Each structure stands twice: as C-alpha cells, then as structure tokens.
Amino acid sequence: MDQIIVHGNGALKGEIPIAGAKNACLALMPATLLSEEPLTLTNAPRLSDIRTMTELLQSLGAEVVTMQDGQVLSMSSHDISNLTADYDIVRKMRASNLVLGPLLARAGRAIVSLPGGCAIGARPMDLHIHGLEQLGAVIDLKDGYLHATAPRGLKGARIAMRFASVGATENILMAATLAKGTTVLENAAREPEIVDLVACLRKMGARIEGEGTSTITIEGVDRLHGATHPVVTDRIELGTYMLAPAICGGEVECLGGRIDLLESFCEKLDQAGVSVEQTNRGLKVARKNGRIRAVDVRTEPFPGFPTDLQAQMMALMCTAEGTAVLEETIFENRFMHAPELVRMGARIEVQGGQATVTGVEKLKGAPVMATDLRASVSLILAGMAAEGETTVSRVYHLDRGYEHVVRKLRGIGAQIERVREGEVAHV
C-alpha cells in the first residue's frame, strides 16, 4: 500500500495546472446513454473514479475510448446491451447511480445497485427515487438493487426537491430530457457542475432553461444527438491548491482557475488574510501579511462554502491566529480528519456537526492516516507546513479525486514523495 511522505520546507512558488472537474465528468459520462450518437468529452481528469465510470458504462454496452493521455473520452452508446448496473462496480463509487435516469429515459427500465463511495455518512437515494417516480417511473428495492421501469414512458412533471441535492438534480435532469412534456424542477442544485451538464445536454439537443438557479425547466425532446464538450475546471482541486500557499506561504498561480467557481471560498480566504487575484491564466494566490487569521466556516450547497473544501480549510485554521468554528451541514461523519490533525499538534474539539479549531504556532510532523478523499489531501497540506516529516497512509483515496498530486506539489517547491509502505523516501 502506498504512503505519501511530506517535509515542511517553507514558502511555495510557481504554477499548478488545474484539471477538469471530477464531479462534472462523472455526470457528463452517463449522458452518453441518452443518445445513439457519440459523445466526446475533452479536458477529462485522469482519475480512478473516471476509470470506474468507464468500466460501468462498458458493462452496459457503451464503447469508451480514451485518447490524449486520458484527457479525451470518446463514448458511444448506439447499442445498450445490458440494463443492470452491477454491485461489484457500483459499490466503488457513489456517482454510479447517475446511470439510473439516463437508462430509464432511453430504455424504459434499469436495475441499479445501491451505491457505495467514501464513508462520510449516509447519502440516501430517496430524492432520486422520488423525482423519477414523479416522472412516471415505478421503482422497487430488491436485494440491494433498485428495479426501475417506466411502464407508460416518462412524462414531464413539477418536482419540488426537499433538499438541493446535486446527484438527484443530475439524475432527474437527464431523465427529463427525453420525457414527454415539460418538467419543472424546483429547489434544484445550482453548482457549476450542473451548469456544465446542462451546457453539454443542450449541445446534444436538449431544451433546458434556468440552470444555475433553483428552478430548472426541461422541455422533453424525442431524441438527442452527439456532441463534443470540454469538462469545466475542477473547483475543488482549484480550492485545494489555492490553500497550499495560504498554509505554507509564497505565491502560486492556479492555471484555469476562476473566482466565480468559488466566490464564497474566496471571500473566506480574503477574511483570513489571503490575496486572490484573477489573471488571464487563472488565479494568483498569496498570503497578504503575517499570520493567517481564524475565520468561521459553515458548509452549504452552492453558492455557499463547499463541503468538499471543509477538511482542507480546517488544515489552514490549525495554525491561524485565534479560534475558528467549522460547521458541517451537508454530510455527517465528515470530521474524521480532525483526530489525525490533532496527532500533528492541532487543537481541535469536535461536537456533533461542529469543530472548534484553536490555532497553534506550528504543527509537528507525524504518521497519520487518510479516512476519505478530502481528508487525505488536508493531511498533506498540513504536513507541508509542519516541522519534520509527516507520513500519510491509505492515500489510495487521493487517486479518486486528484491527478498527479505529488508532481503538481513538487512543481511549486513542496518536498513530497509517494512510496510503497516500507520504502525509504528521498524528499
């Protein structure tokens, strides 16, 4: 099993290219099931989750070809030969459930295993099921699988979601593109990944309005055609690497970054004493003056502070001046990185959905263990600013969401190396 060894070595300088968004790509890929014609995605991230979605689509009969070192995905679903998304694939990744809506819309039925993914709390399928049932689907749970049919076809409906779920919005949105009549989706998620999916579906011939707002209107069409679409910049990778110079000092330019993808996050960085400047190449990030100031954070659906940047922000607050309260409102069990940061000398108290972080002058390197995707990178960021050596174990989580993380951080001056457990690092 691999480990990542990090030595704190001061200020960082340079530039980091930001990949296409994992969460956007994982929604865009199932859209190929909606059409017999090819869908090509450019700027695709090279991640294990993308390989898992590729495996799932291929198991359904889709053809998926990767080109240009994995950054281009050419997909064709002219022949859907299987309508069952098997547990052995689906259990690896939560986003696998996004084949449910497209299969129902295109083939009229689907059997999809309940999904797996990171252990950051129960993320139930009830919103997906309720929305699809409103469109006319009949869905039963048998032996861990959702058995879905559309006996009279899918028909447009007014659907009010009780929570602005990104995954449910995506599933319902894709299904509604081929439903008869008009669907109005209320309390829809507003994330950039939703806007990106709609842009792709529109290129495929879908008739959709209102993306980026809480009400999306979809007028069903008889068929969709092929398209080529670039995946939007990954705002979570962007925010993660923006925190590197904030934690360690120095100045880093994140290529392809845009403030509009992370306005709430950028506001918090400004309050903490971090400068963020939009350039013609991306975002330039640097500490303003002196020590970082503690700021309170409450995670919220977009355009609020992203839950996927909460762990990384906690790493920044560990050495901030003052006390910060981080409130997690999206997922339970998402403070599992806190005890590992405490091993490095952080002062953190967790009570339910709140973590109180009192800044210390310096963190100390220590052996720590990653518990999920975002926790793993928060420990790396903390190790980059700590005294001595930090060893992060169970880093296979990283491969689900960050491509070439060691190479990118080395490129801005970090002393970091990935090794097999038991090997000697040379950082």
* Residue pLDDT, tens place only, 356-412: 999 999 999 999 999 888 889 999 999 999 999 999 999 988 988 899 999 999 999
Tell me the residue type at 375: A
Residue 312: the pLDDT is 97
| 126 annotated to a ligand binding site | yes
Find the helix or strand (DSSP H, E) in which 142 lies: strand 138-142
Which burial class, exposed, middle or buried, applies to 198 when counting CB atoms under 10 A from its CB (0-12, 13-18, 19+)? Answer: buried
Q: Which CATH entry fits the domain spanning 2-19+233-420: 3.30.230.10, 3.40.630.30, 3.65.10.10, 3.30.70.1520?
A: 3.65.10.10
Summarised one tens digit per residue, pLDDT across range 151-180 is 999 999 999 999 999 999 999 999 999 999
**Any binding-site annotation on 69?**
no
Nearest to 201 by CA among 3, 361, 35: 35
Contact between 13 and 412 under an 8 Å Cβ cutoff? The reply is yes
pLDDT confidence bin for 120, thresholds 50/70/90: very low
Q: pLDDT per residue over 69-88, tens digit each?
A: 989 999 999 999 999 999 99
Q: Residue 194 and residue 347: Cα distance in Å, rounded?
A: 37
Domain boundaries, the chain: 2-19+233-420, 22-230
Mean pLDDT over residues 330-351, rounded? 93
Identify any residues that bridge with 98 across adjacent strands, giving them in sequence order. none
pLDDT at 141 over 70: yes
The annotation status of 308 as a binding-site residue, yes or no, is: yes
Q: Which of 290, 289, 250, 292 is nearest to 412 (CA)?
A: 250
Q: Give 339: exposed, middle or buried? Use CB within 10 Å, 0-12, 13-18, 19+.
A: middle
343 labeled binding residue? no
- For 34, phi then psi, to 5°, come to -80, -10
Query: What is the side-by-side order of every strand in the sheet holding 138-142?
Result: 84-85, 109-113, 145-149, 138-142
Q: Say yes or no: domain 22-230 is CATH 2.40.30.270.
A: no
Q: Is 16 strand, coil or helix? A: strand
296 is in an annotated binding site: no
Write down the pLDDT at residue 401. Answer: 87
394 is in an annotated binding site: no
State yes or no: 49 annotated in a binding site.
no
Closest CA to 171 of 128, 210, 134: 128
- Look at the block and give the residue holding tokens 């979809």: 218
| Catalytic residue numbers, as ranges | 118
Compute CA 277 distance to the chain's CA centroid, rounded to the nearest angstrom: 24
Q: Look up the pTM and report it.
A: 0.92
Q: Is residue 306 part of an annotated ligand binding site?
A: no
pLDDT of amino acid 371: 87
From CA 121, how far away is CA 134, in angstroms rounded? 26
124 has binding-site annotation: yes
Q: Does the annotation list 409 as a binding residue?
A: no
Count Cα neighbours of 308 within 13 Å in the Cβ-side half-sphere.
21
Cis amide prior to 38 (ω within 30 degrees)? no
Q: Which of 377, 378, 383 is nearest to 362 (CA)?
A: 383
Query: pLDDT at residue 332 above 90?
Result: no
Domains 2-19+233-420 and 22-230 belong to one CATH topology? yes
pLDDT band at 58, cuts 50/70/90?
very high
